[in-house]
Amino acid sequence: LLDAMSGLEGGQASGADARVIRLENVAALVAQSFGDLSIAFLVTGSLVPLQRLRRAGIALPPGIAVVAVRCEPGAEPGVLEYRKFPDRESYLRFTTDVRTSEVVLACSLHDPDSKVLPLLLAAAALRDLGATRVGLAAPYLAYMRQDRRFKEGEAITSSDFARLLSASFDWVATIDPHLHRRTSMSEIYSIPALVGHAAPVLTDYIKHHTDGAFLIGPDEESEQWVAAVASAAGVPHVTLRKERRGD
């Protein structure tokens, strides 16, 4: 439906439809018209590229949370009812028919210990209900830092967690995972792993919303990302040296 409605006529415009406002400009106009926004949903058809969605999100002022929803043909949002029993066990119920469907569970894994078990139970329930494939979209992927044994008896939790997710999902997608001593996700994940990068979004934000920005990297490892963003945005940067004295 959204794709079919995207061909707007420009009235008296000649050539390109001059009266058709681009998504980025719509976002900016909405922000100007409604000054007390706290969250904005950008809902589009499948033909809008991700770069334009990012630019539309950046067009909104700082402090507004942005959710971009790009509707794909044949895809539909599902509903998961989730709550805690009095004994703190999890109750999960999918009210959407998932038979013969490929399902994506979206869950950013900060504070992971409170989320992982319900997430794994949800994935198992989807398979039991007839889903053909179950993917995980986790913008922040937890348990990537403990990638070797620093002290005798320590668990290498990055490998253990990867095996746990690989056994429950068909693929995983994340943003800038912590790959300090590894070169790719495939070293620990046995399922396809899709990796996105935040640098283009940060660069656009700095260009459009800051004046005289100065970027600071917290440690030597961050140099590669801070330098790339600073160079693309045309701003100076510095990298600190970190001395770890605990967790």
The single-letter code of the amino acid at 204 is D
pLDDT at 11: 44
Please state the separation of Cα 72 from the chain's center in Å.
Answer: 17
Mean pLDDT of 18-26: 74
pLDDT at 174: 92
Contacts of 152 (CB under 8 A, 6+ apart): none
Average predicted confidence (pLDDT) for the chain: 86
Share of the chain above pLDDT 70, in %: 91
- Can you tell me the mean pLDDT for 70-94? 89
Mean pLDDT within 153-168: 95
Q: Give the predicted TM-score (pTM) of the model.
A: 0.71
Q: What is the pLDDT of residues 175-203, one digit of tens each?
A: 889 887 888 899 999 999 988 888 888 88
- The continuous run of DSSP H or E covering 213 comes out as none
